[in-house]
Amino acid sequence: MSIIKSFDKLKEELVKKSVRKKVAVVWAADDSTQQAVAQTLSDGFVEAVFVGYVRELQELPLLLPHLDHITFIDAATPDEAAEIAVSLVREGKADVLMKGLINTDNLLRAVLNKETGILTRGNVLTHISVAQLPAYDKLLLFSDAAVIPYPTHEQRIKQVEYAAAMVRSLGIDEPRISLIHCSEKVNEKHFPHTAGYKEIAAMGQAGSFGRCIVDGPLDVKVSCCRESMVTKGISSPIDGQADVLIFPDIEAGNTFYKTITLFAGAQTAGVLQGPNAPVVLPSRSDSTMSKYNSLAVAVMSLTH
């Protein structure tokens, strides 16, 4: 497989692979979810299980051509739909979980339920975004812009592990993962997390995350621009070509996410990793395209 450097190429590779993954969609009552799923059905890499809002979906002209690849499961409420969809994942009957028109907290409650949920002990629920930036020559993953406010050292290790796996699914054998901080200096007193960064970089070198390059602390610019790295006299094996940025906290991660979409023309996708299946959990304002790309990223992450 060649390296996937854009969302167009991602779709192309998924079509070429001719795999179909089962996606359980919770209460798909909104247009953009319906359209995004219909497009993945049309492109042939998804088998949809619509849970809830069934009567309306069964009559949707958009879905009629794909009925061979659709299952409908009835549910009385969005919350019940969430429980059913989660149980499908737990029983191995769905590969991906996708949020429709249901409150995020309610869906996550079903995912995280200790008895009936799908987060195995020792795993961590974290959000990984994928960005396509006009000013960067490959896809750039980052975590966490949405879920974990202030990651612990252990959670950060999991973020690196999950992100590395996702980058490999894009055809990159040796992911470059940059641990972001405002400076390249470790400063245990004022920035306690930076000491942990060195440990995680050492784990990377020791092979804890498979073949990959992990370094930090580095700032966003040094991570993604070789010239900036050289100008600042910094030497890093990331070499200004990061595939992944791990942000110190949600404030920095969210700032990055909002800034690239508003000011840098970025297209983005996002999934939750950690649970037994990737979870596509779009924001209320995400476009059909973003939901489609998120679903494509989730499916691709299962094919490596």
Interaction site with a second copy (CB under 8 A): 133, 135-136, 145-146, 149, 180-183, 190-191, 219-221, 224-225, 228, 231-232, 247-256, 258-266, 284-285
| Closer CB to a second copy, 29 or 73, in the complex | 29
Q: To the nearest whole angstrom, how small is the minimum distance from the Cβ of residue 291 to a second copy?
A: 15
Q: To the nearest whole angstrom, how small is the minimum distance from the Cβ of residue 253 to a second copy?
A: 8
What is the maximum alpha-carbon separation in the chain?
A: 63
| Closer CB to a second copy, 57 or 272, in the complex | 272
DSSP string of 157-196, one letter each residue:
HHHHHHHHHHHHHTT-SS-EEEEE-SSSS--TTT-THHHH
| Closer CB to a second copy, 52 or 151, in the complex | 151
| Closer CB to a second copy, 169 or 223, in the complex | 223
Beta-carbon neighbour count of residue 227 at 10 Å? 10
The owner of tokens 């969609």 is 25
Q: To the nearest whole angstrom, how small is the minimum distance from the Cβ of residue 66 to a second copy?
A: 29
Single out the residue of 109, 200, 190 nearest to residue 153, CA to CA: 200
What is the DSSP secondary structure assignment for residue 208, as one 8-state letter? B
- The answer to whether the beta carbons of residues 212 and 157 sit under 8 Å apart is no
| Closer CB to a second copy, 82 or 220, in the complex | 220
Q: To the nearest whole angstrom, how small is the minimum distance from the Cβ of residue 35 to a second copy?
A: 17
